Amino acid sequence: MKRHFINFIFLFLCSNFIFGQFYPKHDEYKHFSIRINNDTINYHIYSKKKLDKVHNFILFIPGSGSKPLFTIKQDGNSTNIASQIPFNLDEIPEKYAFVVVSKKCIPFSVTNKEFKTPKCFFENEGLNYRVWQNDEVIKEIIYKRIKNVKKILTIGHSEGSDVVAKLATINKKITHIGFWSGGGNTQFYDFALFIRKEVSENKIDEKMAKVKMDSLFNEIKNIQADANSITKIWKGNTYRRWSQFSEPAIVNLLKIEQPLFVALGAKDESVPVESGLLIPIEFLNHKKKNLTFKLFPDYDHSFNKVPSNENEDWESHWTAVFKEFLLWVENN
């Protein structure tokens, strides 16, 4: 079959697109379910070896949004695949299994149809729910799927970074943490930073900045006054989602004792890098020594190298960051 690979889609505060030249192997995952507390958690494992021959696994926690992990469009002999998983699975070392958890009520994949997000997704969209899902999956893998687990690597990207920060405070079996493209402060603070950046770049004056800032403060007040609403929307997300993800990541990061690898792109337009700079400062203030902090000067939210002129192309460096992370794991 002829395959056109891949249009990766990440959703956080806006969409970012990168293009990869590898097949996502969506048809090579094994699928499992946990039924607990009148709920069902679906998770998926890719492994080059049989699971009884593997003793380590990587848990990837992607960002926000309600898209299936794979959206497949087949037309004659060609297949186009949009994916929420930016990893080239050929680059996963064979000693690791690769794990991803489906969000509530979101299927693993859809083929040749438009997916409409069900109400039950919005009713459960939140930090604590995603932490609970991933914690239960780690526990089941340890007790049912992979014996004698040695290393558990967790990587959270964008919204997933908030999830991995809190998850690591709860599940002590995690050995290494990747916190990628996330901020240290509450997500609301990002919007205040964006307003101030507009001023510093002479895009708006102080009077307009005050209008925007007052509007932001009023919106936050409205969100927290109706924190469980799934019908009221701000910037593409429900009030419930914003309220549920208002917890500053730094609160959880400072509780973590396991080795922590923070990776940020200086040209990130979804999460201002200034918010992420809070992390190394607070780790120094608290005399914590488990942080490795990487700031990539030319990368955006998804670790693409941003062109400096119209003659340059976008370059994906996700795999390069992942390889650097794996090397760090071996040394920590």
Spell out the domains of the chain, with CATH numbers in brackets: 2-186+249-330 (3.40.50.1820), 187-246 (no CATH)
In this prediction, residues 255-274 reach a mean pLDDT of 96
pLDDT at 309: 84
User: What angle is formed at CA 94 by the lines to CA 51 and CA 3, rounded to 5 degrees?
Assistant: 100
171 φ/ψ angles, rounded to the nearest 5 degrees: -100, 105
Please tell me the predicted confidence (pLDDT) of residue 74. Answer: 87
Question: What stretch of H or E contains 324?
Answer: helix 318-330
SS3 assignment, position 209: helix
Mean pLDDT, rounded, for 271-281: 96
Q: What is the pLDDT of residue 21?
A: 60
Tens of pLDDT, residues 222-262: 999 999 999 999 999 999 999 999 999 999 999 999 999 99
pLDDT digits (tens, 9 = 90+) for 10-57: 333 333 333 356 788 999 999 999 999 999 999 999 999 999 999 999
In this prediction, residue 4 carries a pLDDT of: 35
Could you read off the pLDDT of 278-315 as tens digits, one per residue?
Answer: 999 999 999 999 999 999 999 999 999 988 888 888 88
What pLDDT does residue 75 have? 86
Provide the terminal-to-terminal Cα distance of the chain, rounded to the nearest Å.
42
pLDDT digits (tens, 9 = 90+) for 83-122: 999 999 999 999 999 999 999 999 999 999 999 999 999 9
Which pLDDT band, with edges at 50, 70 and 90, does 5 fall under? Answer: very low
β-pair partners for 39: 36
> What's residue 38's pLDDT?
94
Tell me the Cα Rg of the chain.
20
The Cα-based distances of 36 to 136, 149, 169, 177, 258 in angstroms read 9, 23, 22, 26, 28
Residue 1 has pLDDT above 70, yes or no: no
Q: What's the pLDDT at 10? A: 34
Contact call for residues 162 and 245 (beta carbons, < 8 A): yes
Provide the angle, in degrees to the nearest 10, between the axes of the packed helices 206-225 and 187-200.
170
pLDDT for 16: 36
